Amino acid sequence: MSDPTNGGDDSTPGGVAERPAEPERPCLEDGAWKTTRREFIAYTTAGVVAVALPPGGAEAEGRAAPARPRGPGPVEISLKVNGVRRRLELPPSATLAHALRDELGLTGTKVSCDRGACSACTVLLDGTPVSACMTFALDADGREVTTIEGLSRGGALHPVQEAFIARDAMQCGFCTPGMVMSCAALLARSPHPSLDEVKAATSGNFCRCGAYREVFEAVLSASGAALSKRE
């Protein structure tokens, strides 16, 4: 039987009850801290929460605020078109072709397929040929746009334009503005291109009249070269 005066138990040696085990504590043993699994999880969780909290004070103030969304209503943009700064207010869905033709009246940029397949609407965006029907006007904000109307200088036609006329490189003429822009961009980066370079530069421009040989002759003529009979 148990002794109520000392909490003893006949089942234990000497009639003295065993004390409950004390919880494990971090201890320093052999130069390394040891801890229980429960305490390890608690410490780790606290660290994750601390990292997830937003920064405060000077660190938070030093971070730039996220850019404000533009739209869904009309958005003001600025384009440098043929050397002249123009400001427009357009819906975010407006294409560059719409801005040029319908807002600025530059109808030399033609829209044919309206899906980027024929390149009749080619203009230069910062000197690089792009399909205006597949380019958002918003993406051209603050950039320089050159259309067929801005290719001539001081009333003088661009060498490519003159060569197209001299070589009869246009039939119906609908693809001509885009074709001329692609060829002018080629001569700007490669003044003396090979025939293969001319073909590559105009590979996205679709001529329904099939005047490709005349186009190649015109570009090579403008560069000071000539197309051989074999080519």
Domain boundary among 150, 171, 199: 150
Phi-psi region of 71 (alpha: psi -120 to 50; beta: other; left: phi over 0): left
- How confident is the model at residue 194, as a pLDDT? 95
Q: How many domains does the chain have?
A: 2
- How confident is the model at residue 155, as a pLDDT? 85
On whether residue 29 sits in a domain, the answer given is: no
d(CA 207, CA 164): 14
d(CA 136, CA 99): 9
On whether residue 66 sits in a domain, the answer given is: no
Residues 157 and 136 in one domain: no
pLDDT mean values, one per 10 residues, the chain (231 residues): 50 54 53 59 57 54 62 90 97 97 97 94 97 97 97 92 94 94 97 96 95 96 72 53
Phi then psi for residue 80, to 5 deg, are -100, 100
Q: What is the CATH number of the domain that holds 227?
A: 1.10.150.120
- How confident is the model at residue 28, as a pLDDT? 47
Residues 165 and 128 in one domain: no
Q: What is the CATH number of the domain that holds 123?
A: 3.10.20.30
- The DSSP line for 13-49 is GGG-PPPPPPPP--EEETTEEE--HHHHHHHHHHHHH
On whether residue 10 sits in a domain, the answer given is: no
On whether residue 180 sits in a domain, the answer given is: yes
- How confident is the model at residue 230, as a pLDDT? 45
- How confident is the model at residue 215, as a pLDDT? 97
On whether residue 40 sits in a domain, the answer given is: no
Residues 80 and 119 in one domain: yes
- The closest of 108, 112, 72, 113 to 93, measured between CA atoms, is 72
**What is the pTM for the complete model shown?**
0.68
d(CA 218, CA 103): 32
d(CA 87, CA 80): 9
Residues 167 and 212 in one domain: yes
d(CA 12, CA 230): 113
Residues 141 and 157 in one domain: no
Q: Look-up: residue for tokens 């429960």?
A: 38
Structural contact between residues 104 and 81, judged by C-beta atoms closer than 8 angstroms = yes
Residues 155 and 230 in one domain: yes
On whether residue 68 sits in a domain, the answer given is: no
On whether residue 184 sits in a domain, the answer given is: yes
Domain boundary among 104, 121, 150: 150
- How confident is the model at residue 18, as a pLDDT? 59
Strand extents, DSSP E, 69-219:
75-81, 84-90, 122-125, 128-131, 144-146
Q: By residue range, what is the domain housing residue 170?
A: 151-231
